[in-house]
A and B are shown apart, each in its own frame.
Chain A
Amino acid sequence: MSEAPKFKVTIDNITIEVPAGTTILNAARMIGGDVTPPAMCYYSKLKESGGKCRTCLVEVSKGSEKDPRPMPKLVASCRTTVMDGMEVKNITSDKVIDARKGIVEMLLINHPLDCPVCDQAGECDLQDLSYDHGTEGTRYEFARRTFEKEDIGPYIQLHMTRCILCYRCVNTAQELTNRREHGILERGDHSEISTLLGKALDNEFIGNVIDVCPVGALTDKTFRFKNRVWFTKPVDAHRDCPTCSGKTRLWMRGDEVYRVTARKDQWGEVEEWICNECRFEKKETKDWVIEGPSKVSRTSVISQGHYVNTEKAHVLIDKVIGKQPQLLMDIHAISDVNRPEIKLSEIEGPAHSDDFKGSV
């Protein structure tokens, strides 16, 4: 069998050779950097994903070497495969930038913008997208769609109002589990993620829908409101897990494990799926072998306060005055926050007012 033919494709004046059948988005990801179109629904690990959100629209200014006519409309780069000699414009095209602005506005039409409450804030794809490509305000004046709250089990919190209908979680359940128990009901403006007849999602790999969700529609109930993402420290860790690879990322604060997620690559995609036991049940440091702090992009809010390769300065005051300096106030004796008797990471689900009753 001969090797797959290579196609030459030019994206934003950068030429690259890719195997035939590669999508424009993946070709752009091979180049990397700014020319990569953003993707809200496409997930390279999920076969059926893509084509829903339209944020990855690009302009094809030359169809191929044989048929150099430009494509009449902007095309979704996650679903369009490259042709030999194709020329694609992403950030060099005003049409694309304008269209993307419109798409962001459309995605945000029904989004409640409750980022201060949302647990996804800080690692939210929609936040990044609207920051990079969106406009400052909205022109939408009408009521946003609302839904009745649905409980989908003890581990996963569903916030349907935040959903952008990317279908990633549906595809995840379809491809990872034997029997998919949730899907999109209704149609058009009424479409919603739901389990028919209020079932609970309990497959042992269903926790991965939390990681694939680009917004805060599906979040971890065991981490709910416990802390903000950027105040916890991501640490790579692993454990011997009989069901999954056990390679995870712990989100720690001191010695407490607040949250366990899968490791994500540079495109915000999960590297290896993890099981529910690793994700929800193992919230103690002794369950894990810690490998070291995860790499966080310097531009991410999560990198705030997480310093790498620092050297601690020598404290010389005790040598100068010949004794330990007197501690005038121990903040932990007065402060109400971080009380040792309240272990937030051990509370099941979000904390409530009675969880704090015992303390002063």
Chain B
Amino acid sequence: MIKKYNIYLVLIILFFLCALINPNFLSIGNLSNISRQLAVTTILAFGATILIIGGMLDLSAGSVLALAGVLAVDCYKSTNSLILSLIVGILAGMACNLINAVMVANFKTPPFIATLAMMTMARGVALLYTQGQNILQLGDFVVFGQGTVFGMPVSVIFLIVIAIFTWYILKHTRFGRSLYAVGGNEAAAVASGINVIRSKYIAYLINGAFVGLAGVLFMSRINAGQPNGAIGFEFHALTAAIIGGTSFSGGVGTASGTLAGAFIVGFLNNIMNLANVDSYLQQVIRGAIIALAVIYDIWTKGRRTKGHLGNVEDKNKKQKVAS
């Protein structure tokens, strides 16, 4: 039970530590800036969390984000409709992930390979579509990433909606329960009457919608339709999910954990910037944190479950005593 709340403890400690180190950290401007910056990767991280829980993965997130983003931008430029361009972005993300789902669920391609292929394809399509040129002068399109409603950044509102949505589907829907089972033990899920293929489709489609939305927010924030943007964003998303306690072996993870993981990364980046830590050194630190998070996860799990020789007898014993 201690482990379950560790991550939130880390987040709170980090928050106060940051506040102590640099008084600017607590300013409304800085906090709102952190949230705005975090919105895109955190939304991607929720998609990644859903997939990893189900034993899947999306390496194509960054590329698909770029493709969805430039399509949305172009749509806005030709129609001047914010709603329409948002829908186009989301649908583009879902379309790419529909292909991911077909490869993974129907053709049983390992998710790593399938989405690696999609990563390359989507980037290619984005570059083809724009002929490698950035789309500029976005006009009102920038409200998604830069605007505010009652003082609240629009992208943060989207983030909150996605966070609640993710929490809800994981916790309260049949799909959520099925997904944990599929990732925890696919064969047993099939034998329990779970529609595994459908679960995988839904997981990729939700991820696709998140990626598409993130594309709109990202392009809007940087004020350009960049076909070459968002490279490597999928790894930022994975980082947040993993630090948030999502297990790469599948079947374990929560929306709140991922949110905490994303903010831990965000706070760290922010405080390092405020403290003028060398940006190259920042990368080293970020990498080390991922490694530590994973080692910690495996270490605690090793004690929780079977040893490498596959007998759970000792644990059984413990439980008997406990009861």
A and B interact: no
A contact residues vs B (CB 8 Å cutoff): none
